[in-house]
Structure 1
């Protein structure tokens, strides 16, 4: 089944309210609503709680991949109470280059952020196989949908007009260039 742009936007808007900055209460006038008070934020917290409960499944998958690649799990903050929208990790495909991958906690979707080098193909295929075996029914979001900017949305980043579907469903790690540690 193919995912549509409107289906993805429906999911995003379930977890991120329109036209509301993701800022802390102490930075707004008394009585003004903040993101942490919204139904959308409550849903994101519930999704993160499910992610914590189901973390052993993610951990087992990343261990299998870690047996083949140098892997950096970017999801450990979930275990400390964070509210990320996805599990995220990166694997090194060369000394200077990594690709990241994400499994959403908000819907049955995953993404792989490819660096654009020839060596990425075998690793990407293995990661897709692992994700699809571990999370049956999950679909990969293609760039023509994932790179779309979400209208009227500030969260999860505070820059209006730059939150893409990828960032909302996966992580602001989507934008970061991963370098060796």
Structure 2
């Protein structure tokens, strides 16, 4: 089944309120909504909690991939109690170049962030196979949808209108890999 923009935005808006800045209460005028007070944030916290409970599945998968590649798990903040929307890891292809991958806790989606190197393709195929066998029913979000801006959502490190679907479903960690 094909993923649609509408489907992804429905998921985003379930966990990120429209038009609410993601800043601490002390920086907002009285009675103005703050993200941490919203139902959407409560849902994100619940999803992260579920992700912590299911962490052994992610750990086993990254261990299998780590047996074949130089892998760095980027999901430790989730274990520390943060409300991350996804599991994230990277595989180092060269000294300063990595392929990152993410499995969303908000819906049945995953993403591969490719750096644009010729040697990434076989690794990307293997990571996708591993994710799909570990998380049955999960589908990759195509770049033409994932890179779309969500105009009325703010996140902790991006202003209103600068967050992409990828960032909302996989966290700001998505931005940590830049193509070469």
Q: What TM bracket, shorter-length normalisation? A: over 0.9
Structure 2 partner of 1:40: 40
TM-score (norm. length: structure 2):
0.96
Is the partner of 1:93 in helix, strand or coil?
strand
Name the structure 2 match of 1:2: 2
Partner of residue 29, structure 1: 29
Q: Which consecutive aligned stretches of 4+ in structure 1 deviate over 6 angstroms post-superposition?
A: none
The residue aligned with 1:112 is: 112
The answer as to whether partners of 1:85 and 1:171 remain within 8 angstroms in 2 is yes
- SS of the residue corresponding to residue 94 of structure 2 reads coil
Quote the Cα distance in structure 1 between the aligned partners of 2:165 and 2:55: 23
Q: Within 2, Cα distance between the matches of 1:149 and 1:33?
A: 22
Q: Which residue of 1 aligns with 2:73?
A: 73
Structural mapping, 1:111-150, within 5 Å? 111-150=111-150
5+ long unaligned stretches in structure 2: none
> What's the RMSD between the two structures over aligned residues?
1.1
Structure 1 gap segments, 5+ residues each: none
TM, length-normalised to structure 1: 0.95
- Work out the CA distance in 2 between the residues paired with 1:117 and 1:108: 27
